Amino acid sequence: MNANQESLIVAAYAKFPVPQGAKLSYGTSGFRADALILESTVFRVGILAALRSLKTQSVIGLMITASHNQVSDNGVKVADPSGGMLTQGWEPFADAIANAATPEELVKLIGEFVKKENISFDGPKQAEILLGRDTRPSGESLLEAAKQGINSIAGSLATDMGLVTTPQLHWIVRARNKGLKATELDYFEQLSSSFRCLIDLIPNGSKSGETGDKLIVDSANGVGAEKLENLKKMLDSLVIEVRNSGEGILNEGVGADYVQKEKVVPEGFGPTDVGIRCASLDGDADRLVYFYVPSDTGNKIVLVDGDKILTLFAIFVKEQLSILDSDDSYHPRLGVVQTAYANGASTDYIKQLGLQVVFTATGVKHLHEEAEKYDIGIYFEANGHGTILFSESFLSWLEIRNSDLSSKSKGSEQQKAALRLLAVSKLINQAVGDALSCLLLVEAILQHMGWSIQKWNELYQDLPSRQLKVKVADRTAVTTANAETVAVKPPGIQEVINAEIAKYPRGRSFIRPSGTEDVIRVYAEASTQEAADSLANSVAKLVDKYLGLGLGGSG
């Protein structure tokens, strides 16, 4: 790194000093905090994104969002060349530069990292970064901070994509680096055409099932509202009513996180919606859950969460593979990836389907990495974040198989199954979890099966569960193993948790440090809601006793 480059960074640094007392870390999906203290961090992530682009000689994405967090928060995450999350090997560098207290320290850290990673500033391609943001008022100033960081790396190009969902930005980055059409319109056209293909391939008679004509979507007063309105204009076989499209406060009493955690109707829903199929997105449209209102009394809902979406996808994909399975030369591996937050009943059901289930630590980056090991890997968190990954070798085989079937038995059930899987691979966002693409796939499969949301929900009955969090001085005091199901530190805590679990039929509980705030998260499930609540409260008290601030648990 030459003197001119160093001086560019130092000059830009003066506008973005680290706020006193702030210490941020790259969590499960980037930096996230109160928007008022984030400018310096976003500036530095702009530098990181430019360096990542130089290292990979690829287009990189930078998204300004705090997803399902309250509107006063914001955050920043990086999309790698594949469209996936930033490689975990660069996270320690992100932490280090975010907290560099002086321009000299920042330049030193960058210089050492550039040397270690053998990053050239004179390569054949200069850095190119695509920038996106959600609808938060703080997004514009933070986007400007990101641009300043990118521009402090000589020759870098920052392209503002405007208001986009997080999954759209990831999709566009992936498509750009594959040399494919990669505008927002291309995204909409690929999703809508793949959806139409699946609808056209529905077996005769299925359309007359109980699916229901109308879908009502709670858009969390976020960026997904506008994008869904644009998308639905391109769909003629699906009636969508969009609510919470910006008239209220982002993520406040609305959205996938609220609906999944509280299990009550979001703002704008009520007795007139009884029995109708409903769905909720989160603030940046990367999470999706479904629900329905069971009666016109009270505000309770029946939640159809990410576990049920995963199960629906697994049933459909397995069905298509079984129709195709007459070619003994190749047997694709289908795997399902979950976290410890997955309801135990969902895991049992998926295993009964004869599918392999593996567990990872919480966080999409962990699930995504494990799912890539399969020909078809399906992953979902209960919170509604997930997708399906198809290996290049499987897709190549499927294209050949479809071509072969087309010449020998065009219109056969086998060929239709091949076409359905090809359509799914284009409809689903293989870069990252995407509420809009997952929503269309859910709708296509329900129409294919002729299922109502009630019938879908009846696949299995969830074990009652409860999630709490306990405020602590230092969340790193808890470390875990075995996909976060066992607490290794502090010493002795797992043994007392086990003793509590043993008191409850079908009891299960674990604790884990939050990736974004100083709290320890508690999960518990048992045979009844009363038992799950009691177990969660008991474990929260144990956490508080061992390392809490004496503040107890909160929902």
Here the CATH number for the domain that contains residue 482 is 3.30.310.50
Q: Which is nearest to 232 in space by CA: 207, 208, 197, 196?
A: 196
Task: Kindly give the residue spans of alpha helices, DSSP state H, lying in 432-471.
Answer: 435-449, 453-457
CA diameter of the chain = 71
Domain total of the chain: 4
Q: Is residue 185 part of a domain?
A: no
Q: Is residue 181 part of a domain?
A: no
Q: Is residue 457 part of a domain?
A: no
Whether 286 has a binding-site annotation, put simply, is yes
Which among 303, 335, 355 is the end of a domain? 303
Output the average pLDDT for the chain. 94
Residue 279 banded pLDDT, cuts 50, 70, 90 = very high
Residue 208 banded pLDDT, cuts 50, 70, 90 = very low
Whether 512 has a binding-site annotation, put simply, is yes
Whether 6 has a binding-site annotation, put simply, is no
Whether residues 425 and 322 fall in one domain:
yes
Q: Which is more confidently placed, 295 or 80?
A: 80
Q: Which is more confidently placed, 162 or 329?
A: 162
Residue 227 banded pLDDT, cuts 50, 70, 90 = very high
Instruction: Please say if the pLDDT value at position 122 is more than 90.
Output: no
Q: Give the domain CATH number at 379.
A: 3.40.120
Give the Å distances, CA to CA, from 204 to 195, 448, 512: 17, 9, 48
CB contact set of 105 (below 8 Å; sequence gap of 6+): none
Whether 382 has a binding-site annotation, put simply, is yes
Q: Is residue 272 part of a domain?
A: yes
Whether residues 295 and 350 fall in one domain:
no
The pLDDT tens digits of the residues spanning 434-466 come to 999 999 999 999 999 999 999 999 999 999 999
- Is the Cβ–Cβ distance between 497 and 487 less than 8 Å? yes
Whether 128 has a binding-site annotation, put simply, is no
Whether residues 204 and 297 fall in one domain:
yes
The pLDDT assigned to 551 comes to 45
Q: Is residue 456 part of a domain?
A: no
Whether 513 has a binding-site annotation, put simply, is yes
What is the mean predicted confidence (pLDDT) over 196-214? 78
Residue ranges making up the domain that contains 367: 307-435
Q: How far apart are CA 435 and CA 444, in angstroms?
A: 14
Q: How far apart are CA 299 and CA 270, in angstroms?
A: 7
Q: Give the domain CATH number at 122.
A: 3.40.120.10
The pLDDT assigned to 210 comes to 61
Dihedral-angle region of residue 330 (phi above 0 means left; psi in -120 to 50 means alpha; beta otherwise): beta
What 260-266 contacts at long range (C-beta under 8 Å, 24+ apart), as own/partner pairs, is 260/289, 260/303, 260/305, 260/306, 260/382, 260/383, 260/384, 261/467, 261/555, 262/555, 263/300, 263/301, 263/303, 264/299, 264/300, 264/301, 265/291, 265/293, 265/299, 265/300, 265/301, 266/218, 266/220
Whether 282 has a binding-site annotation, put simply, is yes
Whether residues 292 and 313 fall in one domain:
no
Whether residues 236 and 358 fall in one domain:
no
Whether 527 has a binding-site annotation, put simply, is no
The pLDDT assigned to 209 comes to 54
Instruction: Please say if the pLDDT value at position 207 is more than 60.
Output: no
Whether residues 39 and 157 fall in one domain:
yes
Q: What angle do CA 477, 480, 483 make, to 5 degrees?
A: 155
Per-residue buried b or exposed e for 272-296, using 16+ beta carbons within 10 Å of the residue's own CB: ebeebbbbbbbbbbbbbbbbbbeee
Q: Which is nearest to 40 in space by CA: 90, 99, 92, 128?
A: 99
Question: Catalytic: 194?
Answer: no
Angle between helical axes of 306-324 and 435-449 (0-180°, round to 10)? 60
What is the mean predicted confidence (pLDDT) over 263-267? 96
Whether residues 35 and 13 fall in one domain:
yes
What is the mean predicted confidence (pLDDT) over 265-286? 96
The pLDDT assigned to 328 comes to 63
The pLDDT assigned to 141 comes to 97
Instruction: Please say if the pLDDT value at position 298 is more than 90.
Output: no
Whether 475 has a binding-site annotation, put simply, is no
Instruction: Please say if the pLDDT value at position 554 is more than 50.
Output: no
Whether residues 406 and 469 fall in one domain:
no
Q: How far apart are CA 52 and CA 54, in angstroms?
A: 5
Residue 27 banded pLDDT, cuts 50, 70, 90 = confident
Which among 415, 435, 455 is the end of a domain? 435
Read off the DSSP letter of residue 27.
B
Catalytic residue among 29, 40, 53, 67: 67
Instruction: Please say if the pLDDT value at position 494 is more than 60.
Output: yes
Q: Is residue 48 part of a domain?
A: yes
Which among 112, 143, 163 is the end of a domain? 163
Whether residues 296 and 311 fall in one domain:
no
Helix (H) or strand (E) holding 358: strand 356-360
Whether 377 has a binding-site annotation, put simply, is no
The pLDDT tens digits of the residues spanning 43-79 come to 999 999 999 999 999 999 999 999 999 999 999 999 9
Percent of the chain exceeding pLDDT 90 equals 87
At 295 the three-state DSSP class reads coil
Whether residues 115 and 237 fall in one domain:
no
> Omega of the bond prior to 490 within 30 degrees of 0, cis?
yes
Q: Is residue 183 part of a domain?
A: no
Whether 307 has a binding-site annotation, put simply, is no
Q: Is residue 58 part of a domain?
A: yes
Whether residues 500 and 411 fall in one domain:
no
CB contact set of 268 (below 8 Å; sequence gap of 6+): 218, 243, 244, 248, 254
Whether residues 393 and 419 fall in one domain:
yes
Give the Å distances, CA to CA, from 297 to 264, 301, 530: 12, 10, 22
Residue 318 has which token pair?
A: 């397995």
